[in-house]
Chain A
Amino acid sequence: MAAADSPSAALRRRDLCSRGIRLAGKMRADVIDLLDAYVEQQGLDASASVAAVEGVPLAAVERWDEQTGTQRLLENLAAYRAFRALLAQMLEEQREQLGEADAGLGRALAAVLLQVSAFAYHLEELLRLESRGIPGEEEEEDGPPPPPRLSLFEQKLRGLGVLRELAQWALRSVRDLRQLAKPSPATGVAPGLVESP
C-alpha cells in the first residue's frame, strides 16, 4: 500500500492527469482526421469490417470499473508502446509504397506517431510519480517481433484496424485518466494508485 499522498504529489498527479487528458483528446481528434484521410487515400470502404489485427491491443476491457490505477496506467503504457511500433511500421510501409507521393498522409501519420510517443512518455511520468518501475523498456526496445510479410491489401486493412483501435484507446485513456484524477471519497485527495477501487 503506498504511503498516503503528500499534497504536492497529489497536485502533481492531478496536473499530469489533466494534461494527459488534453493530450489524449487532441490525439483522438487527429487520429480520426487521419483515419478519414487514410480511408480515402487507400481507396478503402469506410464501413469495411476488419478482423482483429494481430499485435494491435484492444481498447475494450471487461470490468473496467474494477481496475486499479496501476493496472490502468500499465495497460495504457503497453498499448501506446505497441501503437508506437505499429505506426512506425505503417510510416515505413507508406514511404516504401508511395515514396514522396501524397506526402500529406505521411506527415499526418508522423504527427500522430509523435503524439503517441509523447503520451507514452507522459504515462511513464505518472508511473514514476508513484515510484512505480517502468515496465521492461529494454525488452520492448526492439518492440514486438516483426509481423509476417503481409500483402498490400492486408497492409491497408491492418492500417485501418490500427487507426480505429488507436482512436478507441484515446477515448479509453481519457476515461482512465479521469478515473485516476478523481479524489477518493474518504480523504478528498486523489488516491495513490493502489487504493483506486
Chain B
Amino acid sequence: GSLGDPQNLKCVTHNLHKMLCTWDGSSRGRHTQTDFCYTTNDLTPQVCFKTKERRVEIPVPEGSITVTIKSSGTAFATKEFVIHQKDISFVPATPHILSLMPDFPTSTLNLKWSDNGSVFRYGLDALWQIQILRKEATEVTYYSKLTHEDVILSWNWTSDMPLECTSHYVKIRCYINATQFVGPKDWSDWSPAEMIPGKDTEPGGSGVFPLDPVVAVGSDLTFCCVHEEDQHITNMTYGSKSYTMTQLSSRSHAIRVLNASVSNTSGTNVVCRLEDGLEGSVVFVGYAPDIPQNLSCETSNFLIIKCTWKPGRPSGLYGERRTKYSLFERTSGKNVSCEVSEVSRDHVCDFPVLRDQKTYDFILGVSNPIGQSQSSLMVDITRRVRPKTPEKLTVTGNNSTSIQLRWFINGSFAGTRLLCQIEISSSHSERKLHNVSIPGRKFSTYTAQMNALHPDTKYQFRVRCSAADHFWRWSDWSRGVEQTTSEAPP
C-alpha cells in the first residue's frame, strides 16, 4: 500500500462486547471523510458509516471481522483488514475511587470503588491492584468476582504509621481474567490518585503522632514528629532511649519502636526535641484483659449476690484506660457495671437478688482499650448461701446443766432452712460442736439451748451458720461469749 493507506489498525475492548478500533493514515488526511465498513461473516450484510475520526466503536466479533477503510477523495486509499479475536486487546476501563476515608485513631484508610460489573454479560474474576504512596510505595492486590451488576467494593488498609505523619495517596487499577476471551489481556490504567493529607501539610500541624495511643505489649510502633519547615530536630526519644530517625518529608521525621514493652503507670513519653522546644506524646502499652478465672457467686443475705474472680495478668493500664468489668445476667437482661480498683487484689461485683429468680446466668464482661474477654457462670443462688457472721451472741438463760444462747443474722432467710453450729469449749472438756437446724427468717434473731452441761463450770460459746439444704459454705465464726453454769441444787 502506499503511504496514504490506512494502517496499524488496532482494536481494544473494555467490556468484551464493544471494541474501539483506531488506525494510522497520512497526516494530510487527518480530518477528511472516511468510509468505514465491517462485516462479521458472509451471512450478515456489511455495515458502513462515515467518520472524520480515525477511531470507531464496533462490536467484538465471536470469530473474526472484516473491515474496509476507504478515505474519500483519494481512489487508492482503500484498505481491507481481517481482525480475529486474538488480535483484540482486552483492557478493563480505568476504575474510579468513590471515596477514601481515614480513621486516624486506628491509622486505617477505607477505600470504596465501583467494580463496574454491569458492563460484562457474565461473572468474571477480577484482580485489583491498589497502590498506596507515601515516602515509599506499597502495593496490594485485592480479588473480587464481577456479577453483571455494579457493586461498590470496600477495602480497609491499616497503615504501619499514623495517617497524620505524612500524606497518603491511593490509586487503583484492574485486571479481568476473562478466560473465554482469547485476545491479549492487560491491566487497566491507574485511576486518578486520591489523597489523605498528612499534618505535615497543615500550617501549625506540629506535634508527635499518634497522640496518646493505647497499644498492646509487643507491638511495633511508628511515631512521627511533625514540625515547621525551618525547625531543626535534635532527636526523638521513646522513654529514655534515643532512636534513629527516618525523614518522611521536609516537615516530618519518624522513629520505629519494635516489640514495645509494658509502660509505667503514667505512660511512656515519646519526645521530639526541637531546637526551640519540645513536642511529645504519651503511649500506654499494656495487655488485653485475661479471661477471668474462678468466677464464683454467692449471697450472704438474699439481697445481694457477690461475685468474685481472679483477674489474671494485670493489664498495666490505669485511670481512664483501666480494665472495666460488667456483670450481665441473661435471664433478666439486667446489666451491672462493677466498681473494681485496678490496684486492689480483690475483684468483687455486687448484683441484686431478683424477685422470684433462683437461677442466674451470669456473663462477666471485661474490657480495656486493648481488648476484651468474658467469663460465664450459671448458678442457683439457693445453693450458694453463705450467711453473714452471726452477731450479738448472748446468753439468755442459764441453770446448772443448760444454757440458752441467742444471736442475730443480718439477712433475709425467710423460706431458707439454716444450719447453725455452736462450738462449746470449757477448761476441762474437749471442744464440742453442736448442730441445730432452724427455719430462716427475715433479719431475725435465733436461739438454741445447750443441755447436759456440768454445773458450776465456765463455758465459751461461738456460733456459725450455713444453709441447711444444699450446704455451700459456713459463715465466719461469731465473736465468743463466756458463761458459767450455776451450782447444782443441794
Q: Does B403 contact A (CB under 8 A)?
A: no
Instruction: Give the residues from 77 to 122 in chain A that come closer than 8 angstroms, CB to CB, to chain B.
Output: 95-103
Asked whether A51 lies within 8 Å of B269 as measured between CB atoms, the reply is no
Q: Which residues of A contact B277 (CB under 8 A)?
A: 49, 51
Pick out which of these stretches binds chain A: B42-50, B316-324, B361-369.
B316-324
Q: Which residues of A contact B280 (CB under 8 A)?
A: 151, 153-154, 156-157
Query: Which chain A residue shows the least CB distance to B318?
Result: A101
Q: Which of B270, B320, B344 contacts A96 (CB 8 A)?
A: B320
Nearest Cβ on chain B to A44's Cβ, whole angstroms: 7
Given contacts A43-B264, A51-B277, A152-B282, contact A96 B269 (CB under 8 A): no
Contact flags (1/0) for B265-290 with A, using CB distance below 8 Å? Answer: 11111110000011111100000000
Bound together, the chains give a CA A48 to CA B343 distance in angstroms of: 31
Q: Which residues of B contact A100 (CB under 8 A)?
A: 318, 341-344
Query: Which chain B residue shows the least CB distance to A152?
Result: B282
Q: Which residues of A contact B341 (CB under 8 A)?
A: 99-100
Query: Which chain B residue shows the least CB distance to A157?
Result: B278
Q: Does A54 contact B (CB under 8 A)?
A: no
Asked whether B266 lies within 8 Å of A96 as measured between CB atoms, the reply is no
Q: Which residues of B contact A131 (CB under 8 A)?
A: none
Q: Which residues of B contact A49 (CB under 8 A)?
A: 277-278
Given contacts A153-B208, A153-B281, A153-B282, contact A102 B265 (CB under 8 A): yes
Asked whether A153 lies within 8 Å of B342 as measured between CB atoms, the reply is no
Asked whether B212 lies within 8 Å of A44 as measured between CB atoms, the reply is no
Nearest Cβ on chain A to B361's Cβ, whole angstroms: 31
Bound together, the chains give a CA A42 to CA B266 distance in angstroms of: 6
Given contacts A43-B264, A156-B266, A156-B282, contact A98 B319 (CB under 8 A): yes
Q: Which residues of A contact B281 (CB under 8 A)?
A: 151-153
Q: Which residues of A contact B270 (CB under 8 A)?
A: 153
Asked whether A98 lies within 8 Å of B282 as measured between CB atoms, the reply is no
Number of B positions contacting A (CB below 8 A): 28
Q: Does A139 contact B (CB under 8 A)?
A: no
Given contacts A43-B239, A48-B278, contact A99 B269 (CB under 8 A): no
Q: Which residues of A contact B269 (CB under 8 A)?
A: 42-44, 153, 156
Bound together, the chains give a CA A149 to CA B155 distance in angstroms of: 34
Bound together, the chains give a CA A98 to CA B240 distance in angstroms of: 21
Query: Which chain A residue shows the least CB distance to B267?
Result: A152
Bound together, the chains give a CA A51 to CA B274 distance in angstroms of: 13
Instruction: Give the residues from 296 to 343 in chain B that come closer than 8 angstroms, CB to CB, to chain A.
Output: 318-320, 322, 341-343
Query: Which chain B residue shows the least CB distance to A153?
Result: B280
Bound together, the chains give a CA A50 to CA B319 distance in angstroms of: 26
Q: Which of B211, B268, B343 contacts A151 (CB 8 A)?
A: B211
Contact flags (1/0) for B430-471 with A, using CB distance below 8 Å? Answer: 000000000000000000000000000000000000000000
Bound together, the chains give a CA A42 to CA B208 distance in angstroms of: 17
Bound together, the chains give a CA A55 to CA B344 distance in angstroms of: 37
Asked whether B211 lies within 8 Å of A43 as measured between CB atoms, the reply is no
Q: Which residues of A contact B212 (CB under 8 A)?
A: 151-153
Asked whether A97 lies within 8 Å of B342 as measured between CB atoms, the reply is no
Nearest Cβ on chain A to B192's Cβ, whole angstroms: 36
Given contacts A152-B281, A153-B208, contact A97 B271 (CB under 8 A): no
Nearest Cβ on chain A to B233's Cβ, whole angstroms: 16
Q: Which residues of B contact A96 (CB under 8 A)?
A: 319-320
Nearest Cβ on chain B to A154's Cβ, whole angstroms: 8
Q: Which residues of A contact B318 (CB under 8 A)?
A: 97-102
Nearest Cβ on chain A to B284's Cβ, whole angstroms: 9
Q: Which residues of A contact B322 (CB under 8 A)?
A: 99
Most buried by B among A45, A101, A157: A101
Q: Does A41 contact B (CB under 8 A)?
A: yes
Bound together, the chains give a CA A157 to CA B272 distance in angstroms of: 13
Bound together, the chains give a CA A51 to CA B239 distance in angstroms of: 21
Q: Which residues of B contact A45 (CB under 8 A)?
A: 271
Asked whether A97 lies within 8 Å of B278 as measured between CB atoms, the reply is no
Asked whether A43 lies within 8 Å of B267 as measured between CB atoms, the reply is yes
Nearest Cβ on chain B to A96's Cβ, whole angstroms: 6
Nearest Cβ on chain B to A34's Cβ, whole angstroms: 14
CB pairs A–B below 8 angstroms (5 shown): A43-B239, A48-B271, A51-B277, A156-B266, A156-B269
Closest 9 A-B residue pairs measured CB to CB? A153-B280, A101-B318, A152-B282, A101-B265, A99-B319, A97-B319, A152-B212, A98-B319, A100-B343
